[in-house]
Chains A and B, each alone.
Chain A
């Protein structure tokens, strides 16, 4: 992929751990290891910073209410009519 800045890729074994750390759901030895590793590692620190901002972005986007186009209810109603016309399956 083009135009990807250097420095945002975490250490290969840390990707899931740092994402977990950013989401606040790391427990046990992984949490401890992350606390020891991340502050000393520029790559993982940058990734943690980026992924926290990613979650903030997602939260903001999820809250955005976009105007939805009108549903074509008449088409749906027509197809429901066809289903009603067939009736329920025969019990045999």
Chain B
């Protein structure tokens, strides 16, 4: 195995949990899609690394998250098999019986996942990148290839919607 391969493999294993969590939040509840997004990102990134178009460093994890986000949005827009509609939302609600038994934090996560699912994919991507992963507006803007102002307005629309949905579930109390 080449040195380059060893270095890249070590890096991939190091960042994999973060990327899995990130992709999982974007693609929830489709864990196969999440796994596929991470795998594709590692393959494309390795090709670029071998070609000398990618260097490993501080920004590489964000770069991979950007790839994952773009891939995710592209698939959602083009693949009719990926639906983010009532059917999927109801499928996740089937498991709600167990919520009572969950610890408070797990219950919160559960509510969060369900409400996040009700956002359009592009708004969801903004929330996951900026609010959850704490990426800057600039990074989100570059990843999504939209102006910063659009990131801000999508994000604030999404926050309002999420706050409303969390209120109906009693997570937020007015």
Contacts and interface: CB of A to CB of B under 8 A. Distances in A.
Contact of B174 (A50, A71, A76, A83): A50
Given A60-B108, A64-B105, A80-B9, A4 B174 contact: no
A7 to B, nearest CB: 6
Interface residues of A, number: 40
Given A16-B156, A62-B132, A69-B31, A79 B43 contact: yes
A19 B47 contact: no
Contact of B156 (A19, A53, A60, A79): A19
A68 interface: yes
- In terms of DSSP, what is the predominant structure of the interface of chain B? helix
A77 B173 CA distance: 49
B56 to A, nearest CB: 14
B99 interface: no
A68 B159 contact: no
Interface of B: 2, 5, 8-9, 12-13, 16-17, 20-21, 24, 31, 35, 38-39, 42-43, 46-47, 50-52, 105-106, 108-109, 112, 118, 131-134, 152-153, 156, 159-168, 171-174
Given A1-B164, A15-B156, A62-B131, 12 more contacts: A16-B156, A50-B166, A57-B166, A58-B131, A60-B108, A61-B108, A64-B108, A66-B24, A71-B20, A71-B35, A80-B5, A84-B5
Interface of A: 1, 3-5, 7-10, 15-16, 19, 46-47, 49-51, 53-55, 57-58, 60-62, 64, 66, 68-69, 71-73, 75-77, 79-80, 83-84, 88-89
